[in-house]
Amino acid sequence: MSAVTGPATSAPQAPLRALAERLVGGDGDWARTFENLILSLIALSLVSVGLESSPWLPAWAAPVLRVVEVVTVALFTLEYLLRIVAAPRKWAFIFSFYGLVDLVAIAPFFLGGIDARFVRVLRVLRVLRVLKLQRRVLETTVAERTRELAASNAELKQAHAQIHAELDVARALQLAILPGTFPARSGCDGAARIAPATTMGGDFYDFIELPDGRIGLVMADVSGKGVPAAFFMAVARTHLRELALRHADPGECLARANEALCAQNPMDLFVTVFYAVIDPASGTLRYANGGHNPPYLRRADGSVESLGGPGGLVLGALPGSDYPVHSAQLHSGDWLVLFTDGVTEAFNPANEAYGTERLLAEIASPEGATPTALVERIFGSVGRFAGVAPQFDDITVAVVTRESLGGSRGRAANEPQSDGGGAPACK
């Protein structure tokens, strides 16, 4: 005879355990339906307990209530046994708080012959069963909401990572359109650097190679920050570059750019622009200002002066604006420093602004023999002043000089930098 392996009762127990786990041990549709049935029976049982004690109860109602009692207790008993079968640690369940509640909920029926008054008191304890079922329903609901929240958070993280990656690419592209080198012209040298306050900025500078060896110098600041300012910056720079090649007069160039921006400005943004044209051979500088901070001119003797004079309105705000043209002369050893208000309006943790006095002190300092060195010194000064305070505005600085002492042609040092250098010098 062949040997029989395993307990003889294992086969019958497997379907019973599977049924128990489906009805009382899981969170599926069957378990929820069974729990709703038990909740309904609890409510029905409580109503029947109240009706039995009513003095006006008709004679025919007593047998009906008895049938209800038998049915509900039978189903309560079935549920209790199923929970024992489904429990991985059966004795632990039986003597647990909710296991005892289940037992007390059916015990009055089986103890009815002992003490009717005691039984009637115990029958009221069936209401404790609601506590367990409500807890289970609440736990199930919380678990579902937690899973939904986790899934939503995962989707948000993925979307945020994608947006951040795309903004990083957009930032790199935005910085890439700015000139990386100062035009190679005999007798001049230039450097520039920009540090956006957010992923994308609204400041921009430009060095434009013009006919007859002249160079266009642009320093501009778009209102607002972020993506809208960055798009408007690209539009404004494109217009200025195109118009600078067609209009030699700086005031005419700004007037035409203003008309173009006013015609294409759905977000009502504007841009402040200082635009100058320098002749490296003669040192003549002709400029016009559209609401921007006047740059400073440091003479070879160390004195510093502002390139003032009446200017025009910001570009993109009002059609038909005029931009008067002024002139200055750059001699050997003179330095022209252009900047945006992110420099002077940088704040430290004490909410104190960097201001013009600190900027003038850096410009007047004899330290730094190249435009790159002066640009980096100004950025370093602003950074030390601000400390841990957050940067609220883009910071941009450009320096141009005649007959620089440096011998290497420079490059623009935009943030972030790969090697920490400044701008190449032109010779």
Average of per-residue pLDDT across 312-336:
95
The proportion of the chain whose per-residue pLDDT surpasses 90, expressed as a percent, equals 39
Q: Are 220 and 237 in contact (CB under 8 A)?
A: yes
Each residue of 263-322: pLDDT tens digit?
988 888 999 999 999 999 899 999 999 999 999 999 998 899 999 889 999 999 999 999
Check residue 147 and give its pLDDT: 87
- Of 26-30, 62-66, 90-94, the range with the highest mean pLDDT is 90-94
| Contact (CB, 8 A) for 314 and 322 | no
90 or 6: which leads in pLDDT: 90
Asked whether residue 21 carries a pLDDT value surpassing 80, the answer given is no
Question: According to the model, what pLDDT value does residue 2 have?
Answer: 45
Question: Can you tell me the mean pLDDT for 225-254?
Answer: 91
pLDDT > 70? residue 69: yes
Name the average pLDDT for the chain: 80
Q: Is the dihedral of CA 410, 414, 415, 416 positive or negative?
A: negative
Whether the pLDDT of residue 151 is over 90: the answer is: no
Q: Of residues 220 and 152, which shows the higher confidence score? A: 220
Give pLDDT tens digits for 120-138: 445 555 555 556 556 666 7
b/e per residue 10-43 (b: at least 16 CB within 10 A): eeeeeeeeeebbbbbbeeeeebeebbeebeebbe
Go through the domains of the chain in sequence order and give each one's CATH number. Answer: 10-137 (1.20.120.350), 176-402 (3.60.40.10)
